[in-house]
Amino acid sequence: MSEGQIRQSLSGFYDVFSDGKMYRTRARGNFRKRRITPLVGDRVQFESSTPKEGYILEILPRTNALTRPPVANIDQGIVVTAVAAPEFSTNLLDRQLIALEISGIKPVIVFTKTDLIDDDRYQTFETLAAGYRQIGYPVVLTREPFSADGLDQVKATLADQETVIMGQTGAGKSTLLNHIAPDLKLATGEISTALNRGKHTTRKVSLMPIAGGLVADTPGFSSYDTLTIDYRDLGHYFPEFLAVANQCRFRGCVHLNEPGCAVKEGVERGDLMQSRYDNYLQLLTLLKNQKPIYNKKK
């Protein structure tokens, strides 16, 4: 029996990478009965008689798993964010960061399309980037888009990590990957066709070795999924709120109207970003008003 990692899944076959070699395997029959689906990124125990024939016997415990794209054990998510075209919104960026935080994935922010803005507007992004860095998020922002310095930062981030790349359509996800690994030649825009799951599209998911790490090739991770968390927990996914929450006068403070709230005081002092707090309030209201979903038959 050997141990390896699933690097690709395609029509019921799983390509497992072990000791420098790839083995094509299938899942054991009882997996289906036990409702277990192997995911790309899973560490597994398998046996194989030849590199083309083998069986996955066991899936080792996962640190996390996503449904879109269906991958497991992801270390970080690069949020590709255009500063213009599509128009920039802190709300969308924060929702993407929260989605990653909820999944237990470390976010990295990469700003693109900086050639489309003037120097004054660029300054506002410098300030914004400083705010996110203070929270602890790595941010890549360079005056010239895809500059050597910026790409080096991204490559250093990818090394030894398993990464998903997310961002709005048109934010420049494929362009970024093409700059980092030119031999990939990802057609810009072909990603959207991969997401239109038509009858004839094969559902191939794979991890590509790039810059000393592994990158999931399906940027299907979106922040538009309805957040299914209790509104009282929302503050846990804003690291900078969580860091001061123990100084709030009341336990279980949701940083709304409570007196002696350390988060609101931090925002007033300018220690915490106003835009983050505004987006927090908006999401809080949204979550509070969300009706529980009952699958009732009409």
Question: Is 222 marked as binding a ligand?
Answer: no
Q: Does the CA dihedral 168-140-182-64 come out positive or negative?
A: negative
For residue 214, give the H/E element and its range: strand 213-216
Question: Is 113 marked as binding a ligand?
Answer: yes
Question: Is 260 marked as binding a ligand?
Answer: no
DSSP 165: E
Closest CA to 263 of 283, 243, 279: 243
Six token digits for residue 207: 């991890």
Mention every residue, 6+ apart, whose C-beta is less than 8 A from residue 216.
40, 41, 69, 71, 74, 162, 163, 164, 165, 205, 206, 207
Question: Is 170 marked as binding a ligand?
Answer: yes
Question: Is 112 marked as binding a ligand?
Answer: yes
Question: Is 253 marked as binding a ligand?
Answer: yes
Question: Is 228 marked as binding a ligand?
Answer: no
Six token digits for residue 9: 């899944």
Question: Is 171 marked as binding a ligand?
Answer: yes
Question: Is 291 marked as binding a ligand?
Answer: no
Question: Is 174 marked as binding a ligand?
Answer: yes
Residue 152 CA from chain centroid, whole number: 20
Question: Is 199 marked as binding a ligand?
Answer: no
Pairing of strands 106-112, 205-210: unpaired
Q: Which residues are annotated as a binding site for GTP?
A: 112-115, 167-175
Q: Which residues are annotated as a binding site?
A: 112-115, 167-175, 248, 253, 255, 261
Q: Which residues are annotated as a binding site for Zn(2+)?
A: 248, 253, 255, 261
